[in-house]
Amino acid sequence: MLGDEDTLRKNLNVYSFILCLTSLVLFFLTNFTNTFQYIRLGIHPFYLILTLSLFSFFLGILGMAGIRSWKTSLLSIFTIVIGFCLMVILFSIIVIGKLFS
């Protein structure tokens, strides 16, 4: 029973890392291309990316419980740092954008 719980926490750590990388790629795609438009989605793409990065940040924190080696520790810390930086950048872009609109 304990092995299943450890596997779940390790998978949670990997899934949060993948979600963090996905939100980072979507952030760059949204900034530098016109791939995701407000008209098609009905909501600004930065809100969706902020939600994904917030979700990956919390999954990264939950994944800290599954740390068993330095590799998983580094993966979890990288996920948390990148997720937090992305959230701060997106939040500042959204707030400054609202101030000027």
Task: Decide: pTM greater than 0.85.
Answer: no
Are 75 and 13 in contact, with CB atoms under 8 Å apart?
Answer: yes
Q: Is the Cα torsion angle 43, 36, 41, 59 positive or negative in sign?
A: negative
Write out pLDDT tens, residues 27-46: 998 888 876 666 666 788 88
Confidence tier at 81 by pLDDT (50, 70, 90): very high
Domain assignments of the chain as residue spans, ordered by start? 2-99
Nearest to 45 by CA among 56, 55, 35: 35
What is the distance, to the nearest Å, from the Cα of residue 61 to the centroid of all Cα atoms in its chain?
11
Confidence tier at 95 by pLDDT (50, 70, 90): very high
Distances (CA, A) of 41 to 38, 47, 87: 5, 11, 20
